[in-house]
Amino acid sequence: MAWFPEFMTLALIGGLGLALIAAPLGVFVVWQRQSYFGATLAHSALLGVSIGLFLETNLTLTVVVVSLLIAWAIFQLSHYKQLSSDTLLGILAHSSLAFGLIIISLQDSVQIDLMSYLFGDILSINTTDLGLIALIGVLIFFFYRKHWQDLLNITLNPELAHVEGVAVKKVQLQFILLLALMIALSMKIVGVLLVTSLLIIPAAAARRLANTPEKMLWISLVLASLSVLIGLWLSYVADLPTGPAIVMVATLFFLLLLTKKAP
Amino acid sequence: MAIPSPLIEAINITQTFDQKTVLSQVSLRIHPKEIVTLIGPNGAGKSTLLKILLGLTPPTSGQVKVKKGLKIGFMPQKIQIDAALPMSVERFLKLGFKPNQPTHNAQNHSLKKALKNLFFSAAYDSTRLKKITKELNLSALLKQPIQQVSGGEMQRILLARALIREPELLVLDEPVQGVDIKGQAELYQYINQIRHQYGCGILMVSHDLHIVMQHTDQVLCLNQHICCSGHPKKVSESPEYQTLFSSLATPSEGIAIYEHHHDPTTCEHTHGQTQDTIPPNDSKAG
């Protein structure tokens, strides 16, 4: 095999960083049944891309800002009782995707490879992205260090957690904003349509091997990292689209572990 | 003897949802070592009142005064835990401890332990956990996944978790729901024991309108407003229930009967009471 080109080194570091931030968020997405929430944020990230193109500003910046705004909107809307959160998320996901696509289509002077946003592109990773991934990694580390037990208690029963003195809304909002940040940044690597799978598939696979929440977290960290590394390698040697290659590897892990009985 | 100040006091709580009155001018107070049982039919506003008392929802009007720094142990009515979350009964109970709450049992400072404690495992007072699980007969369940326990076991687990925090006020939402009459009597006796052992005030909610815990100091019957209140009556003093219990061949220790005395001028409904047994001007004061 030939010497790794520089973009591949960047992609490997970025992908690994992404796996490390996706896993801790992913276990809670699975435990709290929020995968649709993740999908909604991912769809809205494309709106961020199109707004960025429209304003001719930094795309990463607009994606991050739009994702955070949508996350905040979802959080506020979740207290709105007349429609189920399921319906609300569906409306937000597809309306933001539709708006995003319309705004992109209006800009005929801009050449944009939509496929790379939908399915990810390793070539697009740059050092700024790596810095941002590292930054969220640090944020997530401190957030989890402080709130791991609070998050578990909220997952078990938010009312009980509240009575026991957890600042439920604050912790939930911080979690959602971190999730939005992670999704915004992972879009470049795995793409809008596949971001959620990076969150939930390693966590779901890890469930088979874990009998404590912590074990599930560590195992999903390992599985997510392996999926990204093997997926990137496959993408490089076999010229496969990056996102799908990563998801395929993660799914293979999941299927392999499905044959094992949960402890 | 001076009357101790209440742990929690609700003053004229009114709650309306979309112009529908759910609670109207409800007041109550709970003192240390006092057991208050809140009963009422479905839709009487019991859950709403509980949520207001616990600070989960703000009332439309009225006020809840809570003793400063009050530690509340709450036992929710039911809890649903997703099967995707790997969690043993023991871990569930330990999560009830405050994180990083140092206790006298945490003397072991090995490097491995320090690393383990870096993130997730606070030092726990395992003696308290052991004591409570033993008293509630949960010791054999500790290693089981929490999703696999039965309904009655779950009730005891939730009670144990509420007690682990050494609460000053214990709030129990339908603690005997789905528990047979024998289990109810046992649970009531244990709750009475808790009151004396830990000196906490207890607020209990029940949808059973007639059978309540014997050692209840005060029964409040809620139906949007507080219809009536008073002390329960021993089973032995109530002939019709005595025959019922003897036919069931169950001990009635711990269980008591509550007779409703509704003021017909404010309450048109009764709970199996004949109107002529209601004395005129039966005040709402307990």
| Domain extents in chain B | 1-71+167-286, 85-164
Q: Which residues contact A116 (CB under 8 A, 6 or more apart)?
A: A124, A191
Higher-pLDDT residue of B183 and B286 is: B183
pLDDT band, residue A87 (cuts 50/70/90) = confident
pLDDT band, residue B284 (cuts 50/70/90) = very low
Q: What is the rounded end-to-end Cα distance, in angstroms, of chain A? A: 40
DSSP 8-state symbol, B175: T
Beta B35-39 vs B218-223: how paired, if at all?
A: parallel
Nearest to B76 among A148, A155, A159 (CB): A159
Residue B236 tokens, joined = 């032995």
Closest-CA distance, A139 to chain B, in angstroms, reads 15
Nearest to A207 among B54, B81, B84 (CB): B84
User: Is the confidence at residue B98, as pLDDT, over 50?
Assistant: yes
A208 SS3 class: coil
B131 and A CB contact within 8 Å: no
Minimum Cα–Cα distance from A152: chain B residue: B95
**Which of A164, A200, A254, A257 has the most B C-beta neighbours within 10 Å, making it the best mutation to test the interface with B?**
A164
Residues A122 and A241: their CA atoms lie apart, in Å, by 9
Nearest to A30 among B79, B84, B87 (CB): B84
B71 SS3 class: coil
User: Is the confidence at residue B164, as pLDDT, over 80?
Assistant: yes
Closest-CA distance, B159 to chain A, in angstroms, reads 12
Q: Kindly report, residue by residue over B242-278, the tens digit of the pLDDT.
A: 665 555 555 556 777 777 776 666 665 655 554 444 4
Closest-CA distance, A80 to chain B, in angstroms, reads 14
Residues A258 and A205: their CA atoms lie apart, in Å, by 7
C-alpha closest to that of B221 among B282, B284, B281: B284
Beta B201-206 vs B35-39: how paired, if at all?
A: parallel
Amino acid at B196: H
Query: Would you state the pLDDT for residue A203?
Result: 95
User: Comparing A213-222, B7-16, B141-150, B264-273, which segment has the lowest mean pLDDT?
Assistant: B264-273
Chains A and B: how many Cβ contacts under 8 Å? 72
Query: Would you state the pLDDT for residue B277?
Result: 44
C-alpha closest to that of B227 among B281, B277, B282, B284: B284
Determine, for residues A144 and B119 on separate chains, whether the beta-carbon distance falls below 8 Å. Answer: yes
Nearest to B76 among A160, A207, A213 (CB): A160
Q: In chain B, what residues touch A261 (CB-CB under 8 Å)?
A: none
Q: What is the mean pLDDT of residues B36-51?
A: 86
Residues of A with CB under 8 A from a CB of B: 30-33, 144-145, 148-150, 152-153, 155-157, 159-160, 162-165, 203-204, 207, 210-216, 263
Determine, for residues B55 and A162 on separate chains, whether the beta-carbon distance falls below 8 Å. Answer: yes
Q: In chain B, what residues touch A216 (CB-CB under 8 Å)?
A: 86
Closest-CA distance, B52 to chain A, in angstroms, reads 11
Q: Kindly report, residue by residue over A97-123, the tens digit of the pLDDT.
A: 899 889 888 877 666 677 778 887 777
Q: In chain B, what residues touch A160 (CB-CB under 8 Å)?
A: 74, 76, 79, 161
Residues A62 and A40: their CA atoms lie apart, in Å, by 17
Higher-pLDDT residue of B242 and A148 is: A148
pLDDT band, residue B114 (cuts 50/70/90) = low
Determine, for residues B54 and A145 on separate chains, whether the beta-carbon distance falls below 8 Å. Answer: no
Element (H, E) at B192: helix B181-198
Minimum Cα–Cα distance from B145: chain A residue: A211
Closest-CA distance, B208 to chain A, in angstroms, reads 24
Residues A99 and A110: their CA atoms lie apart, in Å, by 17
Provide the chain B residues 57-76 that lie in CB contact (below 8 A) with chain A: 72, 74, 76
Query: Would you state the pLDDT for residue B276?
Result: 43
CATH 1.10.3470.10 for domain A6-258, yes or no, is yes
B124 and A CB contact within 8 Å: no
**Which of A82, A159, A208 has the most B C-beta neighbours within 10 Å, making it the best mutation to test the interface with B?**
A159
Please give the class, per CATH, of domain B1-71+167-286: alpha beta
**H-type alpha helices, A35-84:** 35-55, 59-77
Q: Where are the domains of chain A?
A: 6-258
Q: In chain B, what residues touch A213 (CB-CB under 8 Å)?
A: 85-87, 91, 120
Residues B225 and B24: their CA atoms lie apart, in Å, by 5
Determine, for residues A163 and B171 on separate chains, whether the beta-carbon distance falls below 8 Å. Answer: yes
B81 and A CB contact within 8 Å: yes
pLDDT band, residue A247 (cuts 50/70/90) = very high
